[in-house]
Amino acid sequence: MPVNNLSFSFKFANQIKLSILVLLSVLMISCETVRYYSQAARGHLSLVFDRENIQRLLARPDIPAELRDKFNQVLLIRQYAVEELGLPVEDNYSTYVDVGREHAIWNVFAAAEFSANPVNWCYPIAGCVSYRGYFTEAGAARYARDLEADGFDVYIGGIDAYSTLGWFEDSLLSTVIERADYQLAGLIFHELAHQIVYLPGDTSFNESFATSVEREGIRRWLRRGNDGEKIIAAEANILRQQQFVELVTDYRDRFGSLYKSDLLDEEKREGKAQLQEDLRQSYRDLKRDWNGYDGYDNWFSQSLNNAQLATVSSYNELVPYFNDLLIQSDNNLDLFFEKVRSVANLDRSDREERLQDYL
């Protein structure tokens, strides 16, 4: 496919934004920080340069039929997002990038050997978050090895899409193009929700809110087509996801209790290994209710260390809170967004107190 269909001025503006972020990293006076932001800038800039306008792609006669169908679906999803959900679509997902790899980025997560809480890294704009992203798997692996050498539990997760929080127009990536239409819709709703409300440094708040918007958006998107079979499949998938999150969160709390105990370190290690095996068995029991659905098998085949568990709990902990807030808003999304903004605007201590009272 052609390199891009963007004007030079548009590219130049994006280069300036990326250069600002790199400059901010340089001012932090850390060689490792400079290297990290440099790879991030190069990685994202490559996506900016390779993006192609979806409308222009649809005008080409050589686009495969399956890809053409997906592009048309994305255009419908964009229209639905702005007209029915009130999401800030603007030029987001109006372009496409074939990234030529399995994932868009690889995130590194870490936690101490005896802690259920993830390590946080702080960045310009995004604030402090519980991951460090790399545009190559090798780069993520190198950093993970350094963390492991320092005694941390480490987990690397491939990420298929991400939001730039309105700094750039986000593109549809080849890493998500094969997803079912309702899953593609959910992804777009989720990422656009970050532009409604985003609290720098509060991963649980941000991701839980976006997940709540994603699930409600999927329900409404499917009902519009009145396709009973797709609705049943989507609701089954959402239920499995909820049960998976509840299972992992429950065990995360058990690990936390173990680590806070007065046991010796070796005894904690033995207890940790036993809880990991118990979690795997609980998953096998849960699968029986899923009639053999194996979508989480790969996740459970890995170490189940503290860093891996934190990727689930910190991203979903507050979803029930936001779901209740939506119900209190009579399922009116505009009112729901207002309520979420009002919570986000509270002083951090007041907001955390309110959320802890709910939990």
Each residue's pLDDT, cut to its tens digit, for the chain (359 residues) gives 333 333 334 444 454 455 454 444 444 444 567 788 889 888 988 998 999 999 999 999 999 999 999 999 999 999 999 999 999 999 999 999 999 999 999 999 999 999 999 999 988 777 888 999 999 999 999 999 999 999 999 999 999 999 888 888 999 999 999 999 999 999 999 999 999 999 988 989 999 999 999 999 999 999 887 677 888 888 899 899 999 999 999 999 999 999 999 999 999 999 999 999 999 999 999 999 998 899 999 999 999 999 999 999 777 889 999 999 999 999 999 999 999 999 999 999 999 999 988 87
Query: What distance in Å separates the CA atoms of residue 192 and residue 82, rounded to the nearest whole number?
Result: 10
Query: What distance in Å separates the CA atoms of residue 8 and residue 19, rounded to the nearest whole number?
Result: 16
Q: Please tell me the predicted confidence (pLDDT) of residue 229.
A: 82
Are residues 256 and 116 in contact, defined by beta-carbon separation less than 8 angstroms? Answer: yes
* 225 token code pair: 């087509």
Query: What distance in Å separates the CA atoms of residue 276 and residue 355, rounded to the nearest whole number?
Result: 29
Query: What distance in Å separates the CA atoms of residue 219 and residue 185, rounded to the nearest whole number?
Result: 10
* 355 token code pair: 């959320």
Query: What distance in Å separates the CA atoms of residue 354 and residue 47, rounded to the nearest whole number?
Result: 40
Q: For the chain, what are the domain ranges? A: 1-50
pTM: 0.86
Write the CA distances from 11 to 6, 24, 54, 92, 287, integer angstroms: 7, 20, 17, 15, 48
* 211 token code pair: 């997940």
Q: Please tell me the predicted confidence (pLDDT) of residue 190.
A: 96
Q: Please tell me the predicted confidence (pLDDT) of residue 17.
A: 52
Instruction: Estimate the crossing angle of helix 319-328 against helix 203-225, to 10 degrees.
Output: 60
Q: Please tell me the predicted confidence (pLDDT) of residue 168.
A: 85
Q: Please tell me the predicted confidence (pLDDT) of residue 279.
A: 98
In the chain, the amino acid numbered 292 is G
Write the CA distances from 201 to 55, 167, 170, integer angstroms: 36, 17, 21
